[in-house]
Amino acid sequence: MTEDIVRKPRHIGHKIALVCAVLCGLMMIPSVLVFGWFLFTRGLADTWTPSLAAVVAFFGCCAGVLHAVSVPQPVLPAQDEMAVESK
């Protein structure tokens, strides 16, 4: 099964999701830096530090989900080809 998967081209919704995924990934960088700064200066007992950890997790999960949404679906085989393969 070394066939390449043929995918449909990205439409505008996929492109918007991809741009938003990149933006979430970029917003995660300053969030990680601020989280690290708060962790080393104030410690984990301060209320801001776990909140910043949640912000980092949010941006990371948001980027992952939006990237998964931005991937176009594969092209389905024709209806008669599916009927022949099932017999």
If pLDDT is split at 50, 70 and 90, which confidence band does 84 have? Answer: low
Which H or E run includes 26? helix 12-41
Among 3-12, 16-25, 31-40, name the one with the lowest average pLDDT: 3-12
Whether residue 5 contacts residue 77, with contact meaning beta carbons closer than 8 Å, is answered with no
* CA–CA dist 69, 64 (Å, integer): 9
Whether residue 31 contacts residue 55, with contact meaning beta carbons closer than 8 Å, is answered with yes
* CA–CA dist 76, 40 (Å, integer): 52
> What pTM was estimated for this model as a whole?
0.76
* CA–CA dist 74, 4 (Å, integer): 10
